[in-house]
Amino acid sequence: MKTRRFIVILSLLLCTFLSFNPSIQQLAQFPDFQTQTKLAAPAISGFWSHVIQFNEVPAVKTLAGPTAQTVQLTYKLFGIFPLKSSEVEVMPEMSLVPGGESIGVTLQSKGVMVVGQAPVVGADGKKQFPARDAGIETGDVLLKINQEEVQSDQEVASLVNDAGKSQEGLQITFKHQGQVLVRTVHPVYCPDDNRYRIGLYVRDAAAGVGTLTYYDPATNKYGALGHVINDADTNQKIDVSSGQVVASDIHSIEKGRRGHPGEKVGSFDLGSSFSGTIEKNTRTGIFGTLQGKLKNPYFSKPIPVGWQTEVKTGPAKIYTVLHGEKIGEYSIDIERVMLNRTDSKNMVIRVTDPRLLAETGGIVQGMSGSPIVQNGKLIGAVTHVFVNDSSRGYGVFIENMLRDSGFLREGKAA
């Protein structure tokens, strides 16, 4: 009877464990995995911690950049009965210099984006839409005209006019909703302008002001903004052909209010002490290489990176420029942490610093990318403001920025 009772109890324990089914996706940083593996158990301590065993899975070595190792966790009841296995990540130790510098951003797109359409009024007075009739829509990107790559609106206008004068159709290669298509468009002569047109408004570049998030002095790599750069009219992501960041001088602040986000008003400082390239435009920011000198009065050397599992609700600091090029430190409160999201909305933050609230009303445009530091670690960046409450907004995990930049490499099981 006792044996049967023991078997029943054991079965119930097994069912309880399997229904509990803990999901552990990430362990905090361990500088020396070989010697620290035994110390990992407290990070997942709980009812079943005494029956958990760790088995390391070798990770493929990479030539450069920190690597997140994949580790196999095996759960055993009483250290005997195997119940479940799962993979977790052991994050590497990493340090970066927080930013806070105001930057001017110019971005040249791959191809030329269609941002609007307008009728071409021909010699007969009729309104025509040559490009639209051929299937080209707002948000599409023109890549080639007659097999010739186009990079500027001037190039498009010139090729269209030349084809019209020759009474020839244009073979336009363009990207539409991720697909590359080819269509023939016939330009129409516009007497008012004395030139041929196809009825499109196009744009080849974007510019604005943002904030530097981090800088790695060992590689000169940087990250900024914390969110993607989209075209202002189409809200489509701009694919990068080339781009540049320089220091920006802030002249004034338009204070945010309910229903109307504020903004920083500034100008590009072309003679600044630093500049950089833009190599990637991703959902969590822009990334590239800097040259020159950066001076942050709050951080003379790199500080540790805090991974998403280390981010806690509670007080933190942000760093941003309100006047000229002087970086300031301001208090915020992290109200909510949303783990395992890969976009740029991972934290809900509230500005609590009375100085920042008095000058800006909270979060304003141009503050995107302002680094967030908590407990001495760089954990993320400011990304968005709530339209109906400018004191609150979103932040992105620094971990997500590092993944999208390619700086944090993935270690896969061998």
Identify which has the larger pLDDT, 349 or 340. Answer: 349
Which listed residue (109, 275, 368, 405) is catalytic?
Answer: 368
Which listed residue (353, 390, 404, 405) is catalytic?
Answer: 353
323 is catalytic: no
Q: How would residue 133 be classed by pLDDT, with cut points 50, 70 and 90? A: very high
Burial of 3 (0-12, 13-18, 19+ CB in 10 A): exposed
Q: How would residue 284 be classed by pLDDT, with cut points 50, 70 and 90? A: very high
Structure confidence at residue 28 (pLDDT): 44
Q: How would residue 341 be classed by pLDDT, with cut points 50, 70 and 90? A: confident
Structure confidence at residue 233 (pLDDT): 81
Structure confidence at residue 332 (pLDDT): 98
193 is catalytic: no
Q: What's the whole-number mean pLDDT along residues 389-404?
A: 95
Q: What domains are defined for the chain?
A: 2-93 (no CATH), 97-106+205-410 (2.40.10.120), 119-198 (2.30.42.10)
**pLDDT tens digits, one per residue of 343-359:** 899 999 999 999 999 99
Q: What's the whole-number mean pLDDT along residues 109-136?
A: 91
Does residue 65 have a pLDDT over 60?
A: no
Does residue 410 have a pLDDT over 90?
A: no
The pTM assigned to this predicted structure is 0.77
Q: How would residue 187 be classed by pLDDT, with cut points 50, 70 and 90? A: very high
Q: Which residues contact 271 (CB under 8 A, 6 or more apart)?
A: none
Return the minimum-mean-pLDDT range out of 86-100, 114-128, 170-184, 389-403.
86-100
Which listed residue (216, 227, 344, 405) is catalytic?
Answer: 227
Is residue 404 within 8 Å of 284, Cβ to Cβ?
yes
Structure confidence at residue 125 (pLDDT): 86
Q: What's the whole-number mean pLDDT along residues 6-16?
A: 58
353 is catalytic: yes
The H-or-E segment that residue 176 falls in is strand 170-176
Measured between alpha carbons, how far apart are the two ends of the chain, in Å?
48
Q: What's the whole-number mean pLDDT along residues 280-286?
A: 95
Percent of the chain with pLDDT over 90: 58
Question: What sign does the CA torsion over 400, 406, 411, 414 have?
Answer: positive
The H-or-E segment that residue 156 falls in is helix 153-165
Q: How would residue 23 be classed by pLDDT, with cut points 50, 70 and 90? A: very low
